[in-house]
A and B are shown apart, each in its own frame.
Chain A
Amino acid sequence: MSNLNQAMIEKYRSSFLNEVEANVEEGHWVKMCMQCGVCSGSCPLGPHWEHPPQELFMMIRANEREAVLKSDSMWMCTSCYNCIARCPRGLPITHIMHGLATYAKRLNLVPKKQPTAEFGQMFWDSLSKNGRVNELKIGVGLYFKDGFAQGVKNAMAGRELGMAMMKTQRMNAMEYFGGHKCKDTSGIQKMLKKAQEFEDQQITRFDGKEG
């Protein structure tokens, strides 16, 4: 899918807003923003956003495609839904942020080593493999995502917590060798594959004005 980005650039040459509207989950809401900034002010991780949501919306309208899609900002969303609850125009901002992140990922534009993107991918991989999430494997994976040495360091630091979790029966070392999973994992995988195919078709088939 690496040339999907190029394809989209060509297709929506004049308007990133149209591209977002067509391809980003809930993207058609972006035009409804009236720049009040309540979302930006409401975000718990607000200070860590280089471009807060309302500014991202403005950048989308201003055709600042690269800056938006390569941004680290929407990866700061904790899914707290404060912005949605307060937005006077009813924009599903949380979902739009998720959608932008998803879209950036599909176009391969996510900044390298974006921790939430990496973590999220591990999470997804885990659940799509087993139908359920293996907390331990993700945890360990997270420790080692930046290499073995860093991983050992992280693991040492988190050891105390790990022990506590084990002790309170809230983590099980055996999880690493199997653990919680659905019975019909193959069915789930088939289902997800089909769903993904359907979604891919949407991007390449429709120009966004449809549906």
Chain B
Amino acid sequence: MAKKEYSFYPGCSSQKKASADNYLRSTYSMCDALDIKLNEIDDWNCCGASIGYAGGGEVPRIALSARNVALSAQQNPDQDLVATCAACWLSTREAQERIEENDKVREGVNAALDEIGLKIEGEQPKARHMVEALIEDIGFDELASGVQKPLEGIKIAGYVGCQTNRPFGIAGESFENPKYLDHMIESMGAQAVDRYDKKVACCSGALMFSEPEKGHALVKDIIEAAYDGGADMIVTPCPLCQMNVESYQKEINKTFKTKFEMPVVYYSQLISVAYGKSAKESALDGQIIPVKQLEDVTNK
């Protein structure tokens, strides 16, 4: 497998001991197994996420992403800018689009960047989500070929969520029924839940913090549908989805009289485990709801 190299933008949640610490760790483990080198952008900043509009206007928000883009181009020229967080990826892409299409925005953003000696000019680095890089640069077949410990007998609901899927999504996939996560699950030797109804439903995103009751109701449906499909666990490509779906299950159980205990993992953990990495390397200890079946695989 040829070594691949990307400019890496982990994002606020994927920092050490931040909420997606397990994503960060498993991503590095996965990339190690796949012989991918991640060059973290030095001094990257928050993308503003989807909730940034409540505090900042259009130009300030876009300037945030523009700074990351400019740093990436400066530090890792000719490398694609790869993000693991859906919101980071989306904000960056949107910012790039807006800068390209709207002269006024570009003018404002460059004026702001000028304050710190940066500038957006020429061709911008291509912002990609990690799964995009895996699918397009490596491919399912090759991903499958490196599997050492197939995740046999495990049934997984591939929860794509919103922002990895819309409005950009993965090339060739539909918005309503994207299949790539299912393919990825199957590549690792596990079984994907067929017709997982809530595959692209919203987990309430950032509103989980401000409107928890509304958020819990949405998450309840997402977990319920996974149980309906016979899933042993849910896998997701988004840190906010992971957090929202995994961590509120106790509260949801209280409110809705359910008995959920559905593990929610990252695709990077699946790959890491299937490629023979240890439970620790795969950050399985970062799960609030233990994911015993994956642990069992690591113990094989």
What residues make up the interface of A, taking CB atoms closer than 8 Å to B?
Answer: 25, 44-45, 48, 76, 78-82, 84-86, 94, 98-99, 101-102, 105-106, 115-121, 123-125, 127-128, 131-133, 135, 138-139, 142, 157, 160-161, 164-165, 168-172, 175, 180, 182-184, 187-188, 190-196, 198-199, 202, 211
Nearest 7 Cβ contacts at the A-B interface: A124-B55, A120-B54, A79-B50, A81-B166, A44-B202, A195-B112, A80-B202
What residues make up the interface of B, taking CB atoms closer than 8 Å to A?
Answer: 12-13, 15, 17-22, 43-46, 48-60, 62-64, 67, 103-104, 107-109, 111-116, 162-163, 165-167, 175, 201-202, 204-207, 209-211, 214, 218, 247-248, 250-251, 285-288
- B166 touches which one: A80, A118, A164, A198 (CB < 8 A)? A80
- B210 touches which one: A106, A119, A133, A199 (CB < 8 A)? A119
B58 touches A102 (CB 8 A): yes
B54 touches A124 (CB 8 A): yes
B112 touches A198 (CB 8 A): yes
- A170 touches which one: B19, B56, B165, B175 (CB < 8 A)? B19
A191 touches B112 (CB 8 A): yes
B52 touches A123 (CB 8 A): yes
A195 touches B53 (CB 8 A): no
B247 touches A121 (CB 8 A): no
Known: A25-B58, A79-B50, A84-B167. A182 touches B214 (CB 8 A): no
Contacts of A120 in B (CB 8 A): 51-55, 206, 210
Nearest Cβ on chain B to A120's Cβ, whole angstroms: 2
B175 touches A132 (CB 8 A): no
Known: A84-B167, A98-B53, A164-B288. A170 touches B112 (CB 8 A): no
Known: A81-B163, A180-B12, A202-B104. A170 touches B18 (CB 8 A): yes
> Besides the contacts A127-B45, A135-B18, A191-B113, what 9 more A-B pairs have beta carbons closer than 8 Å?
A45-B202, A80-B205, A116-B207, A121-B54, A170-B288, A171-B17, A188-B45, A195-B60, A195-B63
B19 touches A194 (CB 8 A): no
C-alpha gap A206/B23 in the complex (Å): 45
B45 touches A102 (CB 8 A): no
A170 touches B67 (CB 8 A): no
- A115 touches which one: B49, B50, B107, B210 (CB < 8 A)? B210
Nearest Cβ on chain A to B239's Cβ, whole angstroms: 10
- A168 touches which one: B45, B109, B251, B287 (CB < 8 A)? B287
C-alpha gap A89/B206 in the complex (Å): 27
Nearest Cβ on chain A to B20's Cβ, whole angstroms: 7
B248 touches A161 (CB 8 A): yes
Nearest Cβ on chain A to B176's Cβ, whole angstroms: 8
- B54 touches which one: A76, A117, A170 (CB < 8 A)? A117
